[in-house]
Amino acid sequence: MKAALGFCLIFLTLHSPGVLSLSTHVAIVYPQDPVLRMGSNLTASCWVHPELGVHANSLFWTLNGHQLPSSLYRVLSPTNLSVTLAGLNASRQTSGDNLVCHNHKGHILAGSCLYVGMPPEKPVNLTCWSRNTKDLTCSWAPGGKGETNISTLYKLKYKLRWYGTEKECEDYSHTQPYSCSITQDLHLFTPYEIWVEASNRLGRATSDVIILDILDVVTTDPPSGVTVSRLGQLEDQLSVRWEAPPALKDFLFKAKYQIRYRLEESQDWKVMNDVGNQTSCRLAGLRPGTVYFVQVRCNPVGIYGSRKAGIWSEWSHPTAASTPHSERLMSCDSKSSGDSNSTLRRELKQFLGWVKKHAYGCSSMSMKLYDQWRVDMQKSPKTRNQVGSPRG
């Protein structure tokens, strides 16, 4: 249905808080777009010029294409039909709700677009980070339930704490909602004040202000050149090596690294938190003849003397390697092989339990002790049987 140009005119007036009136008068269409809070009431009047010969009883109203029940109507005069909507719900579509007056043939006489929603609440969870000190990206979340149901504008504002002028971030993300990156005129060693302003046609709100130095929120790229290889024929160990993130090679900092690894058929990662700042590590206590996936990430701690904890990078791409098959498992005597493997697992469990109490993660001392223990056990079957035997 198309509006008949030169037929109706819409006037919108505010009678009382939350109650609006809409009326048609002469031969022009003039829409008004009221914005109302959820729960408010709206009264719209469709007034037709007497010379048109249209009686109010023949008119009807639709909301978003659905005819409204006549119980909501009121004939104010032979040429004026009103409709009252009480306790308005939120707009069902972002473009607003269409309230339209029709004649008895269904032709549109007049209409208006209603926007029903809520004013924004204070944005929350404002967090910022800098990738390699080259930018400053901040993200946040809408306050309250998050949805105002009408168009709401969010602006990330910032300034240097002591002498800067207020500026607005310009590079808003098209893929990540509620996110913006500051990429120009960045200052190191100087605190920033950062906040978010939210506004729509029903009100505005401002987040708490956070204060930060870019050097305190630096993250970096994942470590590069990650390799995983066997350690000779040690069937329960793998060697992991990597390179420090190249983007920070000219910065004074002390990196921390984490490693995580998992079985090929599993999605459960085991994380090693105590790798320190070295760029190699030995994984022990692994299953013989098994494929493992390994990842590494970096935390650039203490850039130029910053005392903050730093922010972890993303994990590197998974790198796969397999441990050698155990010679015992390849024995033709399956019963003997199974008994030997069970004994070996008990031995490993006892030793690794001791290591856990006396050493940490990739400590070279613990690995040397482990290697020596393995050699001694292979030389002395008697000792191995004693260690592997269950306690009474």
CA distance 76 to 70: 14
Lowest-pLDDT range, 68-77, 144-153, 176-185, 379-388?
A: 379-388
CA distance 286 to 291: 10
Q: State the residue for tokens 């599993």.
A: 266
Q: State the residue for tokens 């009100």.
A: 203
Q: Which amino acid is at 249?
A: K
Asked if 167 contacts 83 with a C-beta cutoff of 8 angstroms, the reply is no
Asked if 10 contacts 20 with a C-beta cutoff of 8 angstroms, the reply is no
Q: Which of 210, 121, 208, 205 is nearest to 159 (CA)?
A: 210
The continuous run of DSSP H or E covering 385 comes out as helix 381-388
Q: Say whether pTM exceeds 0.75.
A: no
pLDDT value for 374: 52
Asked if 8 contacts 31 with a C-beta cutoff of 8 angstroms, the reply is no
Q: What is the pLDDT of residues 265-288, one digit of tens each?
A: 889 999 998 788 889 999 999 999
288 vs 247, higher pLDDT: 288
pLDDT value for 2: 32
Contacts of 142 (CB under 8 A, 6+ apart): 120, 121, 123, 124, 148, 152, 154, 178, 198
Q: What is the pLDDT of residues 93-123, one digit of tens each?
A: 767 888 899 988 888 888 888 888 888 999 9
CA 320 to chain centre: 28
List phi, psi (to 5°) of 98.
-95, 115
CA 252 to chain centre: 31
Q: State the residue for tokens 């995983």.
A: 228
Asked if 52 contacts 6 with a C-beta cutoff of 8 angstroms, the reply is no
pLDDT value for 88: 85
Residue 377 has pLDDT above 70, yes or no: no
pLDDT value for 124: 94
391 vs 101, higher pLDDT: 101
Residue 141 Cα distances to 58, 122, 176, 177, 312, angstroms: 49, 9, 11, 9, 21
Task: Return the SS3 of 48.
Answer: coil
Residue 262 has pLDDT above 90, yes or no: yes
Highest mean pLDDT among 11-20, 66-75, 229-238, 319-328: 66-75
Task: Return the SS3 of 252.
Answer: coil
pLDDT value for 350: 66
Residue 204 has pLDDT above 70, yes or no: yes
Lowest-pLDDT range, 17-31, 285-299, 364-378?
A: 17-31
- Would residue 15 be called left, alpha or beta, if left means φ above 0 and alpha means ψ between -120 and 50 degrees? alpha
Q: Give the confidence band of 246 by pLDDT, cuts at 50, 70, 90.
A: confident
Q: Give the confidence band of 380 by pLDDT, cuts at 50, 70, 90.
A: low
Q: Give the confidence band of 264 by pLDDT, cuts at 50, 70, 90.
A: confident
Q: State the residue for tokens 């990429």.
A: 183
For all residues of the chain together, what is the average pLDDT?
Answer: 77
Length of the chain: 392
pLDDT value for 346: 67
pLDDT value for 277: 82
Asked if 284 contacts 354 with a C-beta cutoff of 8 angstroms, the reply is no
pLDDT value for 133: 86
Q: What percent of the chain has pLDDT over 70?
A: 73
353 vs 10, higher pLDDT: 353
List phi, psi (to 5°) of 304.
50, 40
Domains belonging to the chain, first-starting first, are 27-117 (2.60.40.10), 124-216 (2.60.40.10), 220-322 (2.60.40.10)
Residue 317 has pLDDT above 60, yes or no: yes
Q: What percent of the chain has pLDDT over 90?
A: 32
Lowest-pLDDT range, 49-63, 113-127, 217-231, 294-308?
A: 294-308
Virtual torsion, Cα 316, 322, 258, 347, nearest 10 deg: 170
For residues 218-235, give the mean pLDDT.
89
Task: Return the SS3 of 284.
Answer: coil
